[in-house]
Structure 1
């Protein structure tokens, strides 16, 4: 009489592959990438009328006047206040979206690190911007009323610090955390491209007397965020998590 053991349904390799596949499915189900990009795009677009029509409140005493002309340092305290409040509210809305999504799908997303980092970066941006007002890394022209642009040699480190202190770059830095939270390589690649574009754009100086000179600085990032939101929503993988 021979004794034969019953064949196992799953070997170690099959079990490991099943666990990995289930983990991937859970990570996919946790994602809601399109919504943060959409909210941040809206925040960027709403900034346009703020930049154009909000009054300049000279809270830091940077304005200089001469013969009816007035020159003030950037950023405007009004703009800085808008970005700080708007970004905090945006992250609150994003957190609410992920909580609602988690309840609907039954799969939680550890969104807290993204929200905390986003709010902290918004506060840090405001603090650094105020500090740069009194300790500018980019030299201020001796004559702010000069009509002829003066070429100022500025090192890459100064441009990098000024660029990273901008609200557009702060959005990108927070998105890097979201890519880690969602284990989303596509979002990571997108964010790196977005960050590179906004940093290059931020290093360009526009000499213009138009009151709409700021439009490229806002429209380009907003367009990138809208396109990214549409792409992640359109090519969103299946969110079904297999039963165990």
Structure 2
């Protein structure tokens, strides 16, 4: 039996729970990593001829390749970090769902963006790129995705859970495809939304309100970058001309999302340091 008074024992248990959660949380390096990767994207935005074409679809512009490497590398580096951290701390957040989000996002970047950009003029004139089509389909896909994720833990057999996982990936891909159809002909920033979805999924797996807030703010800025040309803000502030080339446009549209991730990572690191104190 302990000699600590009940109030002191309760405080000690609270501190131990906070320290255990901090040991399990490992999202600070991924936030900082993705922040740096987003801020580096404008370096490859100047463009260039695609490297190869298949059935009229041209692949391999510098920015396409960069986003592919950044998203794949970022998700794999995050998974590797969680495995390493879990081995050292003895507690680890399961990351299979996070990797599934990354796979769906990579498929969207690998195929969706090149297809849309290769036929940008036709896509822009197609009724299937109109908000009256893309928004309802994306909304239905997101609702179906939520329903499948809610149902999956209640399924008894492994086969049923595997089928639910596959269905969730299909619905996620449909939602991202609608985003590609809607955004890519004007601004190639759909990969930001893939990163945002991954971080939101990680926040849910971590049961972390702090990561949820950072991911939510980042998702809002990523959506803003796809809906509105943020270079107009810099133009009205007198910092840039209305258009100074693709690198400047990419810089002004990725600056805010990248800074949100870096600032969120710094605040999260400070918060976790306090939790372990």
Q: Distance in 1 between matches of 2:197 and 2:86?
A: 24
Q: Which of residues 185, 188, 210 is equivalent to 1:186?
A: 210
1:30-87 deviation line (CA, Å, top 9, x unaligned)? 10121111111121122221113x63326459xxxxxxxxxxxx99732112111221
Q: Paired residue for 1:88?
A: 72
Q: Distance in 2 between matches of 1:224 and 1:123?
A: 26
Q: How many residues align?
A: 206
**Quick one: structure 1 residues 186 and 75, their matched pair in 2 at CA, closer, same or farther if it must change by over 3 Å?**
farther
Q: Distance in 2 between matches of 1:24 and 1:60?
A: 53
Task: Name the Cα RMSD after superposition.
Answer: 3.9
Work out which of the two has the higher radius of gyration on C-alpha atoms and give 1 or 2.
1
Q: Which of residues 124, 147, 166 is equivalent to 1:139?
A: 124
Considering Cα pairs closer than 8 Å and 6+ residues apart, tell me whether 1 or 2 has the greater RCO.
Answer: 1
Contact between 2:200 and 2:215, CA under 8 Å: does it hold in 1? yes
Question: Unmatched 5+ residue regions in structure 2?
Answer: 1-11, 136-177, 232-241
Contact between 2:37 and 2:70, CA under 8 Å: does it hold in 1? yes
Instruction: Please report the TM-score for the alignment, with normalisation by the length of structure 1.
Output: 0.67
Q: Distance in 2 between matches of 1:190 and 1:35?
A: 13
Q: Which of residues 192, 195, 200 is equivalent to 1:171?
A: 195
Instruction: Please report the TM-score for the alignment, with normalisation by the length of structure 2.
Output: 0.60
Q: Paired residue for 1:35?
A: 29
Q: Which of residues 73, 82, 91 is equivalent to 1:98?
A: 82
Q: CA deviation at 1:225?
A: 0.8
Q: CA deviation at 1:108?
A: 2.2
Matches within 5 A, 1:1-244: 26-52=20-46, 55-57=48-50, 59=52, 77-133=61-117, 136=120, 139=124, 155=131, 158=134, 161=179, 162-163=182-183, 166-205=190-229, 208-211=243-246, 212-236=248-272, 237-239=274-276
Contact between 1:27 and 1:183, CA under 8 Å: does it hold in 2? no
Q: Distance in 1 between matches of 2:215 and 2:261?
A: 10
